[in-house]
Chain A
Amino acid sequence: MKVELKIEPGLEEPRIVIHAGAETEDIRRLIQDLSGRSLGPISVWEGDRTMPVPQSDFLRFYTEGKGVTAQTVDGTYAVRLRLYELEEVLDATRFVRISNSEIINLDRVTAVDLSLAGTIRMTLDRTVPVYVSRRYVKKIKETLGLGRRKPS
């Protein structure tokens, strides 16, 4: 399969066009995989200023007080979306909910540990500890297993 990348400045969300001789099962699976990926940036707020941040830059989204905060390597920002709304716009193969109050970027997980009391702790970018609710472990495994499985 030939892959070609065209850079078009100003284009907010990537657009993918597949050129194929016929619609095969492999092509259909590829379309299904790609359509499930929301790759657009997420708007965050820093004071009165808003800015789009690419999804890959986020470490996590978590509820803090009444609002939702997004954390990147550079800092934390307010997000004017609820966690369940974020789940709909984020790339479902990369972001997963780990507790009632937190969504993390699986690409940024650098360690997973278990305490003697059964608490699962993930570390993001070697510095940010987050705690996984065991109720969400099955969902995380499904996301990892399905979303990242190499196409057969």
Chain B
Amino acid sequence: MKLPRSWRSRMLPGALLGALLAPAVVYFIGPLWVTVEENAVQAVGSLWAVDRIPLPVAPAMVEAFGSWPLALAVQSLLGGLFGAVCALATLPFADEGRELVLRSLAHFAVTALTFSLLLGVCRWVDRPVFILLWIFLLAVLYLLIWLGRWIGWYMEVVQLRSLLGLDPGPSPLKWRETLPYLPFLLLVFLLLPAALRFLDRAIIIDVPVLSQLIWPYLFLPVSGFLSGISLGKRQGVCPLYPLSCALLALPAGLLILREPNLLWCGLAALSSLAGNALGWLYRRAVPKNR
């Protein structure tokens, strides 16, 4: 299969850079990680030095391949492959619509595969679960890049609207339209749990029913859902609203339980998302008379 010229001109420098960077990363960054405490080393999942002497390959890889030059060659090859794939990252954005989505997904799949090979074969991580963690971080990076591009396109659309003399439309991801609901969220997610916790301590002796039962499993989902409906009816889909609810549930967990509670974050996000979607559907079904 012959690759297009535009691909080849990007892939070659990318491959060279990847082949050089892979051993450099191990050589320079690996030793930094082995000097930190044991838990942190477990978190990144690897030990990259023998007798504190830095190597351009992980010791586990040298052991698996028999000699360090062979291990280095394989690592550079995989680094080159990963670099070549990364160098094509901007190409899907030349398309639009369905092609853009499909090509982005295809690029992510190939990037994730080559990155997993690099992490696994080169023993950059010592447990498969860490590969999943890195792929998750890669997915987050992709989403951030996508979001950045989308905001750029949105600003172009705002400019077009302005040049055409049209209403500039909603702010990117409707952040400005979501903002008026923030005081309500602060009230429900911070002030109310604090007040209920105070009541629990003052009135109820054994079980903190108000703050640990009524608030998280009744007030939180119901208020998230109802406020989501209200926002959806007024502004349509506001993706930042469920995210704000989930983020604000974190300090609420800290306030009540002294630790973040991911279940509460999930409840807050899902209930507000469901409410927002329902409000949006209502808005579509019953258009406002203008």
Contacts and interface: CB of A to CB of B under 8 A. Distances in A.
Interface stretch (A1-9, A48-56, A114-122): A114-122
A140 B156 CA distance: 11
Q: Which 8 A-B pairs have the closest CB atoms?
A: A144-B163, A119-B97, A114-B157, A118-B96, A117-B101, A112-B160, A112-B161, A117-B97
A109 B163 CA distance: 11
B285 interface: no
A114 B169 CA distance: 11
A112 B97 contact: no
A100 interface: no
B160 A110 contact: no
A137 B96 CA distance: 13
Interface in B259-281: none
Interface residues of A, number: 22
Interface stretch (B81-89, B146-154, B196-204, B222-230): B146-154
Summarize A's interface: helix, strand, loop or mixed: mixed
Nearest to A144: B163
A116 to B, nearest CB: 7
Given A140-B160, A141-B159, A141-B160, A118 B166 contact: no
A134 B92 CA distance: 13
Contacts of B159: 141
Nearest to A109: B164
B172 to A, nearest CB: 10
Contact of A112 (B149, B150, B157): B157
A148 interface: yes
A103 to B, nearest CB: 16
Contacts of A114: 150, 153-154, 157
Contacts of B96: 117-120, 133-134
Interface string B138-149: 000000000001
A141 B96 CA distance: 19
